């Protein structure tokens, strides 16, 4: 594979598929429905069924687990800590911005993605009657270090430095190897240090060494990398490794959330055994 390790343009397949998972489970606005997302969703249904039977969970299970868990952590930050600014990077067809700006009118919610997707999202927000000065979509490339689409520029232009900022990446970081995405994490930590407090939420799929489906996950990594034409990576072998890595990047405190700890309180599907997905909450 000769693709540039920092090229994010090939992840549209999973963005459409994930977008339809939200639609099919009542989490999204009708205008976010896409024909290709529906096609991928139904085409993969047999494989999802087999995965659920063999591994105790499938991709849809993990997508919904992480989405509900991130929603919970964002709500907690807004309601208990007074957060009023959110940046969702690589937003794709995520419905979170629409739901949260409706529930919390005081919230400034900026969705960011590559220019084509950001433009598409801006039009979808207008169709969903959700567009307001407080809710917008802007271009951002996580690997741009200068220009209007850089992380630093978007944060400086869109947010008040005197208020805390919460940043979300959902379904992004595992498409890049650790060395590549680590540069983004270090730049993000530096940006959040310029704010009056910062919280970063991201999903992670630890390749647990003692998990009975360790080999299955490695096969799935190869398959997902092939269909998305990306370098899919599982960065850590345990929750402790993930925590230590983010602490080494300068985040503190760092908490790794396991969906199974929230089965009793959140409306998420349950896995048989230890879930494959985690949500990392890293603060500065």
**Could you tell me the pLDDT band of residue 112, with boundaries at 50, 70 and 90?**
very high
**Could you tell me the pLDDT band of residue 272, with boundaries at 50, 70 and 90?**
confident
Please give the distance of CA 27 from its chain centroid, rounded to a whole number. 15
Tell whether 3 is covered by a domain: no
Total domain count for the chain?
1
Tell whether 252 is covered by a domain: yes
Q: How far is the C-alpha of 255 from the C-alpha of 128, rounded, in Å? A: 35
**Could you tell me the pLDDT band of residue 5, with boundaries at 50, 70 and 90?**
low
Tell whether 5 is covered by a domain: no
Tell whether 263 is covered by a domain: yes
Residue 226 vs residue 118, higher pLDDT: 118
pLDDT at 210: 53
Say if residue 213's pLDDT is above 60: no
**Sequence-distant (≥ 6) Cβ neighbours of residue 18 within 8 angstroms:** 63, 92, 93, 171
Tell whether 4 is covered by a domain: no
Nearest to 54 by CA among 219, 209, 206: 219
Summarize pLDDT for 6-52 with one digit per residue, the tens: 444 444 657 777 777 777 777 777 777 677 766 666 666 555 545 55
Residue 246 vs residue 10, higher pLDDT: 246
Q: How far is the C-alpha of 159 from the C-alpha of 157, rounded, in Å? A: 6
Instruction: Compute the radius of gyration of the chain from its Cα atoms.
Output: 18
pLDDT at 222: 46
Tell whether 2 is covered by a domain: no
Q: Which residues in 197-217 are b (16+ Cβ under 10 Å) and which e?
A: bbbbbbbbbbbbeebebeeeb
**Sequence-distant (≥ 6) Cβ neighbours of residue 277 within 8 angstroms:** 62, 65, 66, 203, 204, 205, 259
Tell whether 215 is covered by a domain: yes
Give the domain range for residue 184: 12-283
Specify the residue for token string 């989490």.
Answer: 27
Say if residue 232's pLDDT is above 80: no
Nearest to 130 by CA among 94, 156, 164, 159: 94
Tell whether 134 is covered by a domain: yes
Question: Where is average pLDDT lowest: 63-67, 165-169, 207-211, 255-259?
Answer: 207-211
How many residues are there in the chain? Answer: 284
pTM for this prediction: 0.84
Q: How far is the C-alpha of 223 from the C-alpha of 217, rounded, in Å? A: 10
In three state form, how does the secondary structure of 139-165 look?
Answer: ECCCCCCCCCCCHHHHHHHHCCCCCCE
pLDDT at 217: 54
For position 256, which CATH number holds?
3.40.50.150
Strand arrangement of the beta sheet that strand 198-204 belongs to: 135-139, 108-113, 85-89, 165-169, 198-204, 278-283, 254-257
pLDDT at 3: 47
């Amino acid at each position: 594979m000769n693709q540039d390790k920092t090229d994010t343009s090939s992840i549209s397949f999973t963005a459409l598929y994930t977008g339809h998972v939200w639609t099919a489970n009542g989490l999204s606005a009708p205008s976010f429905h896409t024909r290709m997302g529906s096609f991928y969703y139904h085409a993969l249904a047999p494989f999802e069924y087999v995965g659920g039977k063999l591994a105790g969970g499938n991709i849809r299970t993990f997508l919904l687990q992480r989405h509900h868990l991130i929603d919970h952590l964002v709500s907690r930050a807004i309601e208990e800590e007074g957060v009023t600014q959110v940046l969702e990077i690589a937003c794709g067809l995520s419905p979170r911005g629409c739901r949260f700006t409706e529930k919390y009118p005081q919230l400034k919610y900026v969705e960011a993605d590559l220019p084509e997707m950001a433009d598409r999202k801006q039009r979808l927000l207008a169709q969903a009657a959700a567009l307001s000065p407080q809710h917008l979509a802007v271009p951002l490339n996580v690997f741009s270090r200068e220009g209007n689409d850089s992380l630093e520029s978007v944060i400086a232009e869109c947010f008040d430095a005197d208020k805390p900022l919460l940043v979300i990446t959902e379904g992004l970081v595992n498409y890049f190897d650790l060395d590549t995405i680590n540069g983004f994490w270090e730049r993000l930590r530096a940006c959040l240090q310029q704010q009056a407090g910062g919280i970063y939420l991201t999903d992670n799929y630890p390749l647990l060494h003692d998990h009975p489906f360790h080999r299955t996950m490695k096969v799935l990594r190869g398959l997902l990398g092939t269909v998305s034409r990306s370098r899919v990576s599982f960065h850590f072998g345990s929750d402790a490794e993930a925590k230590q890595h983010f602490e080494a990047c300068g985040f503190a405190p760092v908490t790794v959330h396991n969906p199974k700890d929230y089965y009793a309180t959140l409306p998420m599907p349950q896995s048989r055994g230890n879930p494959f997905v985690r949500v990392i909450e890293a603060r500065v």
